[in-house]
Amino acid sequence: MPFDCGDVYLSDQARQDALDQMNKIRSEVALGQFHAWNLLPTANNMMKLKWDCNLEQMAHNATEYCSRYHPQASLTYGINYHRGDVFDSSELNLSSSILSSIKKWSNIPNIMWPNRNIFNGNLELADFANLVFANTTAVGCSNTKCSSRTSVACVFSGPEILTGTLVYNSGNPCLNDTKCGTSGYCELGLCIDEGEPEPAPTPAPVQPLSPVIINCPTVEFDSTFRTTALGMHNNFRSLVARGLARNGDQPNENAPPSSQMDLLVYDCNAEQIAFNHVKSCVKQPSPLPSGSEYSENIHNLQTTPTDILGVLQNAISTWTQELEANGIPSNMIFINELDKRLKKVVTNVTKIIWGSSRTVGCATQLCNGFYLTSCLYRKPVNVIGQNIYNIGAVCSTCPAGVNNCDGNVGLCSW
C-alpha cells in the first residue's frame, strides 16, 4: 500500500515491514501470547498502529548525525533510538536495520514485566513499553548511515512513558468488530480505526496511576520491594495455573493447568520473621519457633553489583526455575522422593505453586560477602501425599462468587 511519504528516506516496502513487525508485537501482547520473564496479560482495546509521514520526518531528524546520545522524548511524542555498527551483520542493510532495532527493543525474555502493567522505571523495558503503549495510534521510523555507524529511530504518537504510567489496561482483547466501534474492525486482537477524522474507538483510558502500596512495620523494605515479591510469585503461579509453565520432568512438557490456584496476598508478619532470619546472616533455614505456621525458602547470592530488589528477583527466579530445570511428576502429588531429593531439588518451587497457599512475605540482607534472602509461606505446604495443586480446567473449582477468578490470570480470589 502506498504511504505517500515519498522515497527520500525509506521505501514503502521498508515502511510496511516495520509497521507489520510492530503490530505483530502488539497483537501478541493483546492476545496474551508475548513472553518477557513472565507472560504478559492480555490487553483491552489495543489499537493497530498506522504509519505517519510527519513522525517519520521527526525520526529522520533524530537519526541524521548518528548521535551516541538518545534523542529527547517529550510529553507529546515518545521515541526509541538505536545506534549500531554497520559491520554488525544485522546492520548491513539499512532497511533491515529498522527491523533489527525493533527486535532489540522487544527482546526482553529475562526481564520481569511490572505488576498491573504500570511502568516501573526499568530502563530495559522503556523501549518495549513505547512499542505497546495503548494510547499510541501512529508511528514513523527512519534510519541513517554515518560512516561506520547506522542509527535508527521510531517516533510514536503517544507521549514519553514515565514511571507510574499505565502502559495498557488488562482485559479481553477484541475478538470481533463489535468491540471496535462503528467505524473500526478487529484484526488479531487489535482494533483498526477507519473513522475520519476522529478515532473510534478511543483506547481504554490510559493515564498515570499510583502503584499499589503495601505498607508494613519493617522500615528496611519499601512498597516496591513488597509488590515485586508478591507480583513475581503471583505471575509464576498464573503461568502454572494456565498450563503455560515448562515442566522438566518430561521433554517438551508443560505443567498441567490448575482448577484452583489461589491468589497470594502479602504477609507483613512473615516479612518480619524473614527479616529476623536474614539479618543473622545464617545461610541455613531459620530455626522457626516451635509450632510456627510458616515454611521458608532461602537463597544466598555472592556479592555482586546490584541492590536488594535485584537480589530478591534473583532469588525468586532461582526458585521458580526448579520446575523447568529439575521437573515434577505430572500428577503433581508431593511424594517423599521429592522431599528427599539431594539433586534436582524442587522443594522451593513447590512452596511457590502450592495451590492452597495464600500468603507470602520476604526479606533480604547484605551480609559479609553475600546477600541472604528469605521468603515465608503459611503452612500447609510441601505435605507428603497431598496435591501440590489440583489439576483441572483453569478456575473450574475456585470458590463461588462474583469475580472469583479471571481466566486470563487463572488465580482464584477468596
Torsion of CA 301, 305, 311, 316, to 10 degrees: -80
Among candidates 215, 54, 190, which has minimal Cα distance to 134?
190
12-193 and 223-391, same CATH topology: yes
Torsion of CA 325, 326, 332, 337, to 10 degrees: -170
Confidence of residue 195 (pLDDT cuts 50, 70, 90): low
Confidence of residue 290 (pLDDT cuts 50, 70, 90): low
Q: What is the pLDDT of residues 64-97, one digit of tens each?
A: 888 777 776 666 788 999 887 654 434 345 568 8
H helices present in 133-218, as ranges? none
Instruction: Give the residue extent of every domain in the chain.
Output: 12-193, 223-391
Contact between residue 97 and residue 84 where contact means Cβ atoms under 8 Å apart: yes
Which cell numbers in the block locate residue 39?
Answer: 507472560
Torsion of CA 327, 226, 159, 27, to 10 degrees: 20
Mean pLDDT of the region 379-393: 96
Measure the CA–CA gap between 18 and 80, rounded to whole angstroms: 13
Confidence (pLDDT) at 210: 41
Q: What is the pLDDT of residues 210-264, one digit of tens each?
A: 446 899 999 999 988 998 899 889 888 988 998 988 899 998 899 999 999 999 9
Confidence (pLDDT) at 378: 94
Record the pTM.
0.57
Which pairing describes strands 138-146 and 50-51: parallel, antiparallel, or unpaired? parallel
Confidence (pLDDT) at 211: 47
Q: What is the pLDDT of residues 159-189, one digit of tens each?
A: 878 877 889 988 888 877 777 876 678 888 8
Superfamily for 12-193?
A: CAP (3.40.33.10)
Contact between residue 63 and residue 80 where contact means Cβ atoms under 8 Å apart: no
Q: Based on C-alpha coordinates, what's the Rg of the chain? A: 24
Other CB atoms closer than 10 Å to residue 59's CB: what's the count? 31
On the question of pLDDT at 206 being above 70, the answer is no
Q: What is the pLDDT of residues 112-164, one digit of tens each?
A: 888 788 888 888 888 999 999 988 999 999 998 887 778 899 999 988 788 77
**CATH architecture label of 223-391:** 3-Layer(aba) Sandwich (3.40)
217 or 284: whose pLDDT is higher? 217
Confidence (pLDDT) at 307: 79
Mean per-residue pLDDT of the chain: 85
Farthest CA pair distance, the chain: 76
Confidence (pLDDT) at 322: 95
Confidence (pLDDT) at 247: 93
3-state helix, strand, coil split of the chain in percent (to 5) is 30, 20, 50
Distance of CA 357 to the CA centre of its chain: 23
Confidence (pLDDT) at 182: 67
